[in-house]
Homo-oligomer: A and B are copies of this chain.
Amino acid sequence: MLTLASDFGTPYPAAMRGVITRRTDATVTDVAHDLPRQAPRTAAFWLRFVLPEFPPAVHCVVVDPGVGTDRAALVVRAGDHALVGPDNGVLLPPARALATASDASLELFTVTVDDPASATFHGRDVFAPTAAAVHETGVDRLETRDDLTPTDDYEELTLPEPSVDRADGAVAAATGEVLAVDDFGNAITNLPGDLADGRVGEPLRVETPEETTAAPLTRTFASVAPGDPLVTVGSHGYLECDVNQGRGDERFGLGVGDEVTVRWSEG
């Protein structure tokens, strides 16, 4: 199985799919082609969330603001999975999640690329053919490919860590940032969901540089009336700032990268 993910919108991904289906009979699945534009960190968040759900596959990932520069093309092996994409860090958070899931360590390879047909669409000219070739070779036989060279020189990308303020053991406040806003408008933070353990139902204050919003910590959207704000643990395991049947990003005044503090209210 091959998966495709990009920020290309439409119809560029179809060209990648054509290139791949010319080279392999493997099933090709789109993960998403409307990942946030040219934002490797947000894309990495989403791919870390989604790719571990898949069976062993070759994942072709193209979020590549540096296309056409001398940034390298990478293949990353993570257990039974391989990821193919640009060397800008976007592959690493999902690759680490895949490796952890299969108790493997990461192995990285740079791709020797013949002069590509274009300087602006390496999805078609570099990454898709490489992904197809890696699939045909087999993820466990990457060493047999002449165009792949093991490397430990690559762009790192890690998602930010939050700071947690514990007073007498109980968490009083935690400060982090918004990793992503989903299509529902849920503002997903990097604050770990276990902050909510045993505290569902408590009132919170959510502070941004611009405003402060009172919202309860709930288990579900429907725990508050439609249109009301809430904080809950999202399916990715992080706290998210939401509105039941509305947009949390607008209500809380939050966008990707914004700092956010969740404070347990005094009452």
Q: Which residues of A contact B (CB under 8 A)?
A: 1, 3, 5, 8-12, 14-19, 21-22, 27-32, 34-35, 37-38, 46, 49-55, 65-69, 117-121, 124-125, 182-184, 219-223, 232-235, 245
Contact = CB atoms under 8 A, between A and B. Distances in A.
Contacts of A119: 219-220, 232-233
B69 A220 contact: yes
A18 B54 contact: yes
Contacts of A125: 235
Nearest to A232: B120
Number of copies of this kind of chain in the complex: 3
Contacts of A69: 220, 222
A46 B15 CA distance: 10
A235 B182 CA distance: 30
Contact of A53 (B18, B219, B221): B18
A11 B50 contact: yes
A233 B118 contact: yes
Nearest to A220: B68
Contacts of A118: 233-235
27 contacts: A3-B14, A8-B183, A9-B182, A9-B184, A10-B35, A11-B31, A11-B49, A11-B50, A14-B31, A14-B50, A16-B53, A17-B29, A18-B50, A18-B54, A18-B55, A19-B53, A21-B29, A22-B53, A22-B54, A53-B124, A65-B221, A65-B222, A68-B219, A68-B220, A68-B223, A118-B234, A120-B233
B22 A10 contact: no
Contacts of A67: 220-222
Contacts of A221: 65, 67-68, 120
A78 to B, nearest CB: 15
Nearest 3 interchain pairs by C-beta:
A68-B220, A18-B53, A9-B183
Given A29-B21, A53-B124, A68 B222 contact: yes
A182 B12 contact: yes
Nearest to A124: B235
A32 B220 CA distance: 24
Given A14-B30, A31-B14, A220 B120 contact: yes
A229 to B, nearest CB: 15
